[in-house]
Structure 1
Amino acid sequence: MRPYLPAFATILLVATPASALKPPREESPANREILAAVGAGNSDAALEQAIAAAAAYPLGSLQNPVRVAGPEGERSYLARLRCADGASPDIGAKRPAGVSGYGSVANLYPLDCRAAGPGKLDLVMDQYHAEHVETRAPAGFTFETR
């Protein structure tokens, strides 16, 4: 009789569940406390405490990484380093070092001064210190004089 009736009934059955859906949430599904902490960083007092605690360890170690501002800061710092004979160290491939004394992920750079001092060193750098320029060199190293 009416061939369009079964087709119309099928459309109603399929469309009903879709129309019953709630609209998407207007806010993020992430935990509000986590969202509030994103970008908050450390307070100045907490950073000063971390710097004081790190000072008990050698500069360039995981507990006291060289603090730099991003990958450019890492490259700039490494370019200034000099071995005891004044030559630049050979710099190996960067790899993850773990969580630094400052609580962020640090990078490790193998350095090799060949026969000159200090020899080989795994230098750890923390690139999450915007606007910081490290003025100290690890033990046995100096900086290029400009």
Structure 2
Amino acid sequence: MSRLFLRFALPSALLAGSALLHAAPPREESPVPRDLINAVDAQSPDAESDALAAVAAANPLGSKENPVRVGGPEGERAYLARLRCADGKAPQIGARSEAGAGGFGSVVASFAVTCPGAAPQAVIMDMYHEEHDETRAPAGLTLSPR
């Protein structure tokens, strides 16, 4: 019986797990108005992304409605490493926590960012944007050059 399991059941389970790794990012209800999403759904994916970016731009960068767009966990770490406080020093970065659906419809993460003499602020990030290179920093912070 165990040889039969190893020959058939285990490879099937591994293939199913592999399919989950390559699935699309989890999607929740976005704070962007549903009618705007429906209007651009008929267009290309680039048009949808551009429309969502235009709506998000009306909100502060790093907020849930306008998260910092990065590519994967590596993009999150790289962006956070470039953040600087008003004095030019690196801020203290808190633990990553899930923050629900962001302005682009995918699950976003929140990081507590603390500068000396200032209250911690949350920087919300959306890691499902491999194609985007964010060059701006949230209010009160700057980005160091690469």
Identity percentage over the alignment? Answer: 55
TM superposition shift of 1:62:
0.3
Is residue 81–residue 89 contact of structure 1 (8 Å, CA) maintained in 2?
Answer: yes
Q: Which residue of structure 1 lines up, in the alignment, with residue 95 of structure 2?
A: 93
Long gaps (5+) in structure 1: 1-37
Q: Which residue of structure 1 lines up, in the alignment, with residue 45 of structure 2?
A: 43
Is residue 89–residue 112 contact of structure 1 (8 Å, CA) maintained in 2?
Answer: yes
Q: Which residue of structure 1 lines up, in the alignment, with residue 137 of structure 2?
A: 137
TM superposition shift of 1:140:
1.1
Higher helix share: 2
Long gaps (5+) in structure 2: 1-22, 25-43
Question: How big is each residue's C-alpha offset from its partner over 1:67-98, in whole Å with a ceiling of 9 and x where there is no partner?
Answer: 00000000000000000001111000000011
Inter-partner Cα distance in structure 1 for 2:55 and 2:136: 17
Paired positions, count: 106
Task: Give the TM-score normalised by structure 2.
Answer: 0.68
Look up the equivalent residue of 1:69 and give its one-letter code: G
Is residue 114–residue 120 contact of structure 1 (8 Å, CA) maintained in 2?
Answer: no
